[in-house]
Amino acid sequence: MAVYQDNYTAMVIFAQTQTQFGVQQANTINPMDETPFDSPNPNSPKIPTENKNGGFTFQQAKKLVVGLGVASAVKSVINYFKNNYGEIMQDSNAQVQGNETMNILSMGVGIASSFAVGGWIGGVASIVATGVNVGTQTASYQRMLHRNDVQSQIMMARTQYASINGGR
């Protein structure tokens, strides 16, 4: 045991401790600091688990990384089942409805977050951008339907409407 004192601090050094990285540091008690004591062993202070400056400790960072990894794995599993629901459950209509619902929810969240971040100007800009996106998708879908209809008419003319008339 050693005692250190100057004009500003007084420390009592009890023993050497090691951090989890194997670095030795003095296990001290500063009477000017309000470091609490462990009740079973009054000669050693309770080591604070949080950094007083508000930073992360190694354990907190490790827990955060593990938590993010678990969250990423859960998200991957959910996305797999969401994207393959139609094949797994043999229900393609429910798959289409689920995809459309997710698209609409995604657009709503995008517009709401634009209002939250950019105010009314950002929200209006997001509504206009979403409208343009939906308009171009609709136009593309209409062109695809028209092209499919024309191809169907060509095939029916080639077969001389055999499928409708029941053959020759």
pLDDT tens readout for residues 31-65: 555 554 444 555 555 555 555 556 667 777 788 88
Rounded Cα gap, residues 48 and 56, in angstroms: 13
What's the pLDDT tens digit per position in 71-84?
A: 999 999 988 888 88
Return the domain boundaries, the chain: 2-46, 78-168
Instruction: Check whether 140 has a pLDDT greater than 50.
Output: yes
Structure tokens at 107: 């657009």
Structure tokens at 113: 């977050």
Torsion of CA 132, 137, 139, 143, to 10 degrees: 160
Which pLDDT score is estimated for 58?
Answer: 74
The reply to whether the predicted model has a pTM over 0.85 is: no
